Amino acid sequence: MKITMVGTGYVGLVTGGCLATIGNTVVCLDIDEKKIDMLRSGQSPIYEPGLPDMIARNVAAGRLRFTTDKEEAYRDVEAIFICVDTPSDEDGSADLQHVMTVAEDIAAALDRRSDELDPPLVIVKSTVPVGSTHEVGELIRRRTTKRFHLANNPEFLKEGAAISDFMKPDRVVCGVDKEETGKRLETLFMPLVRQGNPVIILDIRSSEMVKYASNAMLACKISFINEIAQLCEHYGADIRGVWRGMTTDRRIGNQFLYPGLGYGGSCFPKDTLAVIGMGRSAGFECTLNVAVHQVNQQQRAYFWNKIDHHFGGNFSGVSLAFWGVSFKPETDDIREAPAISLMRNALAQGASIRAFDPVATENLKHEIPEVDCFGDMYEVLDGCDALVVCTEWGEFHFPEFEQIATRLKNRVIFDGRNIYSRRQMQDLGFTYYSVGRPPVNQSDPVKTG
């Protein structure tokens, strides 16, 4: 199938690369000339494991190319995926201006299209509020009399594992305007579900809601376990033991139930706020989702209070080293990252900040230029008063603790991801703070790990 992917962000690039991998001819269209130039030169504008190699293979095979030329991108195409950003407005509602601009471009392209060609599929893959895909269709119909098929195809890609998620999906969800559209999409996606997972064909509004309902549920699980972790601290319980006792129940499971600093990134914060915004637009208060968002934001403040309390609220001359900037491992995405919130708090109170992240420090330099960034995880510790662990990158799990101890001024670690053993911290002489577990003070015996 000849496919045009509009937008070369996480969704557009991964979707385009994967669809080319299974034999389609894909053109990725973007108005950002610098980004297209990068892609043409073999560089990826985003960090996603496996993506540069996938792009290079498909470009070499002639199945994938990149352009800023709209007329070239839309010419004789069979399917158009809209994969542009839908950022949150101040009230949390999704901003659809980029989606609607693309819809106008598609209408203009359809007007130039030969009547001898079959009507193309217009597929909204951007995450949009319920009813938005129909709005796209209505806009196109107001601008042209040419026929097209309309669909919604939500993405369920985890940053850091996006290629695997696309190529081996739990399910593919499609919202369609008519039965014929659904059959064409089933054919397109069939190579991805040969292991038996379903292509689920729904009406368009239900398909749009699936995306929000899924992300809101996962965000809810994260906020739930973080609230329980805070409760554990108040009562002297250990969240690790509580977690084991809970998650062995098959009804509960263990996915997205890890205590930490809360969710971040481009999806959960935006989509939770969008659900709240959709509810208010309909005169309905999504009480649970409001609470999920509040708990998530409070979790960062709660953890910051541990740092603030340790230093007695006086950060004059205090230097903090941060391990991890991205909101999760295996990505350079720092959008809504907990580390950013903690760094801003520290800077506002007069502390100096040094940071290391395997891939995200370039983004951090643009976001908070005041932070000193380092390329070595131990060098960043030199002369600092404490280490703050914000992202559970693999290299942080088994560090050289002697190096940490000798490079820091004081043996103090604030672990926002619970990756270290309390007993080990006690044995090595560290003062240690984590999430949902009692702190380690050298005068107190540690009874659990």
267 is catalytic: yes
Q: Quote the pTM value.
A: 0.92
Query: What's the pLDDT score for residue 445?
Result: 60
* Cα–Cα dist 416/260, whole Å: 5
* Cα–Cα dist 110/141, whole Å: 10
- CB atoms under 10 Å from CB of 426, counted, come to 17
Catalytic residue among 18, 174, 220, 267: 267
Biggest alpha carbon distance in the chain?
82
Region for 138 from its dihedrals, namely left if φ exceeds 0, alpha if ψ lies in -120 to 50, beta otherwise = alpha
| Domain ranges (residues) in the chain | 2-197, 230-433
Angle between helices 268-281 and 287-310 (to 10 degrees): 140
CATH code for the domain defined by 230-433: 3.40.50.720
From first to last of the 449 residues of the chain, give the pLDDT tens digit. Answer: 999 999 999 999 999 999 999 999 999 999 999 999 999 998 999 999 999 999 999 999 999 999 999 999 999 999 999 999 998 877 777 889 999 999 999 999 999 999 889 999 999 999 999 999 999 999 999 999 999 999 999 999 999 999 999 999 999 999 999 999 999 999 999 999 998 999 999 999 999 999 999 999 999 999 999 999 999 999 999 999 999 999 999 999 999 999 999 999 989 999 999 999 999 999 999 999 999 999 999 999 999 999 999 999 999 999 999 999 999 999 999 999 999 999 999 999 999 999 999 999 999 999 999 999 999 999 999 999 999 999 999 999 999 999 999 999 999 999 999 999 999 999 999 999 999 999 998 666 666 66
Question: Tokens at residue 116, please?
Answer: 């001898």
The answer to whether the 2-197 and 230-433 domains have the same CATH topology is: yes
* Cα–Cα dist 374/357, whole Å: 8
Positive or negative: CA dihedral 232, 233, 235, 238: positive
Asked if 83 and 12 count as a contact pair (C-beta separation under 8 A), the reply is yes
Cβ neighbours for 5, distance < 8 A, ≥ 6 positions apart: 12, 13, 15, 16, 19, 26, 27, 28, 29, 81, 83
* Cα–Cα dist 449/300, whole Å: 24
The letter for the amino acid at 120 is P
Superfamily of 2-197 according to CATH: NAD(P)-binding Rossmann-like Domain (3.40.50.720)
